[in-house]
Amino acid sequence: MTVSKMAQNLIGSEIIKLAGEVNAMIAKGEQICNLTIGDFDPKIYPIPGELRAGIAEAYAEGHTNYPPANGVAVLRKAVADFTRDRLGLSYPENDILVAGGSRPLIYATYLALVDPGDKVVFPTPSWNNNHYCHLSSATPVMVETSPENNFMPTATDVAASLKGATLLALCSPLNPTGTMFSKKDLEDICDLVIAENKSRGAGEKPLYILYDQIYWMLTFGEHKHYDPVNLRPELRDYTIYIDGTSKCFAATGVRVGYAFGPTVVIDKMKAILGHVGAWAPKAEQMATARFLHQTDAVDVFLDEFKQNVRESLDMLYHAFKDLKNEGYNVDAIEPMGAIYLSAKLDLAGKTTPSGQVLQTSKDISFYILEEAKLAVVPFSAFGSSPDLGWFRLSVGGASLESIKDSLGRLRNALQKLS
């Protein structure tokens, strides 16, 4: 008995696999600074107290039955108000779809728009688009980006790939890099999408943008979040936004995500998820609706949360810059948003104390794990070449003290290479 061709060829999450190996080491008593999973340690980054209390209250009120398939009305209204007030994007409540985090919403976008064989264009590195293409039988068109532009795609990068494509999948702030679109880069890409859609004939499927902005509230310093519809309002009929509370409120396990966009697409996504049943729990929806309207509580939480996340990212960033100045072949890109640092560990060709010659980014990550007790994820887990010596460092699951302690071990590990 065999399974489907899709299942036969499905690759599991490389990140979850690596995190499992790290957790096994931790279970054996090893002291690992775990910078792999894009998650939060609740002891370090608890969810907002008002949200936690609201969840308990909602369960006490009996909100334990099925929620509506598209989300409870009070949450869709709260999301509409929140998105209008904070982003300047006005969408009616019926064009907002709630689900159990952002993953079902991204998958529903693919299923609603993409037919087998359709082209889906996305940059590398980026999170999970290769797997969603496989699940939907799409033809992936991976566009390589460069550290010179902070691993964000430019119009020049994507221009040659848009002809005939159905979907352009973008994310800012970007997982895995922690970098963001500049206003001009996103404007130029938007203009390409507009021009491509104008070139298509009657009956041709348009080119849509999937815009994942789940990290938009986690931006640092002078860096500002931009989105397609605010920059080019004519893209309103062609942009599906992916958003939610998982990252901005350290609430990954609360599972409240939402999407919004053109009615015709959102309605089909509602039907898809209605059959799948990928709903956010009703009590969590009720509590999130109340919390989004508590403007002062939201602001107080975000101010402290962002400060703590940035402190950890800055410590890593400056440490890598110091190591670079000392002559080691490492580097890092200034953190702009999200919970990630892009770090370069260009160690291919180096020989370990045991005599192993490091060749791929996976070799490097396992050497750093064994020798420095520092767990990082290579960009190859996000669609990039295994020869690319860049890595994602995620700070949500590690304390500032743990990160600081790991940096001395990292220097020692680098010193041991020849």
Contact 269, 112 (CB under 8 A): yes
Q: What is the pTM of this model?
A: 0.96
Above pLDDT 70, what percent of the chain? 100
215-237 per-position pLDDT tens digit: 999 999 999 999 999 999 999 99
d(C-alpha 149, C-alpha 103), whole Å: 27
pLDDT grade for 24, boundaries at 50, 70 and 90? confident
Domain ranges of the chain: 5-45+299-416, 49-294
Checking if the pLDDT of 17 tops 80, the result is: no
Q: Residue 1 has what pLDDT?
A: 59
CATH value of 5-45+299-416 in 1.20.1740.10, 3.40.50.300, 3.20.20.10, 3.90.1150.10: 3.90.1150.10
Q: What is the DSSP letter of 48?
A: P
d(C-alpha 270, C-alpha 259), whole Å: 10
Q: Residue 30 has what pLDDT?
A: 86
Q: Residue 268 has what pLDDT?
A: 98
Mean pLDDT of 93-104: 98
Q: Which CATH architecture has domain 49-294?
A: 3-Layer(aba) Sandwich (3.40)
353-362 per-position pLDDT tens digit: 999 999 999 9
**217: nearest Cα among 170, 180, 265:** 180
Checking if the pLDDT of 16 tops 80, the result is: no
Q: Residue 380 has what pLDDT?
A: 93
Q: Which helix (H) or strand (E) holds 375?
A: strand 374-375
Mean pLDDT of 135-164: 98
Contact 285, 291 (CB under 8 A): no
d(C-alpha 370, C-alpha 324), whole Å: 22
Residues in the chain: 418
31-81 per-position pLDDT tens digit: 899 999 899 999 999 999 999 999 999 999 999 999 999 999 999 999 999
d(C-alpha 40, C-alpha 308), whole Å: 12
366-388 per-position pLDDT tens digit: 999 999 999 999 999 999 999 99
307-344 per-position pLDDT tens digit: 999 999 999 999 999 999 999 999 999 999 999 999 99
Task: Supply the mean pLDDT for the chain.
Answer: 96
d(C-alpha 165, C-alpha 184), whole Å: 23
Q: Residue 171 has what pLDDT?
A: 98
170-221 per-position pLDDT tens digit: 999 999 999 999 999 999 999 999 999 999 999 899 999 999 999 999 999 9
